[in-house]
Structure 1
Amino acid sequence: MNPESRQRIRDALEHPPSPPPWGWTADDMDRLPSDGPNGEPGFFEQLELIDGALIFAAPQSRFHERTLHGLVTEISGQAPDATCAVGRMDVKLGHRTRPCPDVLVIDDAAADDLNRTFYAPDEVHLVVEVVSPESEERDRKLKPPRYAEAGIAHFWRVEENDGRPVVYVCADVERPPRCPGPTARVKTSLPWRRSATSGGRRGARGMW
Structure 2
Amino acid sequence: MNAEPPPPAPQWAVPPEGGWTADDLDTLPTLPPHTELIDGSPVFACPQTVFHSRAVSFFSGHLLSSAPPGLEPVARFTIDIDRSNRPEPDVVVVRANAVESLRQTRFPASNVLLAIEVVSNDSVTRDRETKPVKYARAKIPHYWRVENHDGRAVVYVFELEPATGAYTSTGIFHDRMKVSVPFPVDLDLSAIAPRPRAADPQ
**TM-score for the superposition, normalised by structure 2:** 0.79
Structure 1 letter corresponding to 2:168? R
Q: Distance in 2 between matches of 1:91 and 1:116?
A: 11
Q: Is 1:124 aligned to 2:117, yes or no?
A: no
Structure 2 letter corresponding to 1:106? V
Q: How far is the alpha carbon of 1:145 from its aligned partner?
A: 1.6
RMSD, aligned α-carbons = 3.0
Residue 138 of structure 1 aligns to a residue in which SS?
Answer: helix
Match of 1:38 in 2: none
Residue 205 of structure 1 aligns to a residue in which SS?
Answer: helix
Q: Is 1:176 aligned to 2:172, yes or no?
A: no
Q: Judging changes above 3 Å, is the alpha-carbon distance between structure 1 residues 179 and 136 closer, same or farther for their aligned structure 2 residues?
A: farther
Unaligned runs of at least 5 residues, structure 2: 1-7, 194-202
The match for 2:49 among 52, 56, 61 is: 61
Q: Distance in 1 between matches of 2:100 and 2:61?
A: 18
Preserved CA contact (<8 Å) 1:87 1:102: yes
More strand by share: 2
Q: Judging changes above 3 Å, is the alpha-carbon distance between structure 1 residues 179 and 32 closer, same or farther for their aligned structure 2 residues?
A: farther
Report the number of matched residues.
Answer: 182
Q: Distance in 2 between matches of 1:188 and 1:163?
A: 23
Structure 2 letter corresponding to 1:63? F
Structural mapping, 1:137-148, within 5 Å: 137-148=125-136
Match of 1:39 in 2: none
Structure 2 letter corresponding to 1:120? P
Q: Distance in 1 between matches of 2:80 and 2:135?
A: 10
Q: Is 1:190 aligned to 2:181, yes or no?
A: yes
Query: Bigger CA drift: 143-152 or 105-114?
Result: 105-114
Structure 2 letter corresponding to 1:31? T
Q: How far is the alpha carbon of 1:177 from its aligned partner?
A: 1.4
Match of 2:28 in 1: 32
Query: Bigger CA drift: 158-167 or 127-136?
Result: 158-167
Q: How far is the alpha carbon of 1:178 from its aligned partner?
A: 3.3
**TM-score for the superposition, normalised by structure 1:** 0.77
Match of 2:189 in 1: 204
Unaligned runs of at least 5 residues, structure 1: 1-9, 36-42, 197-202
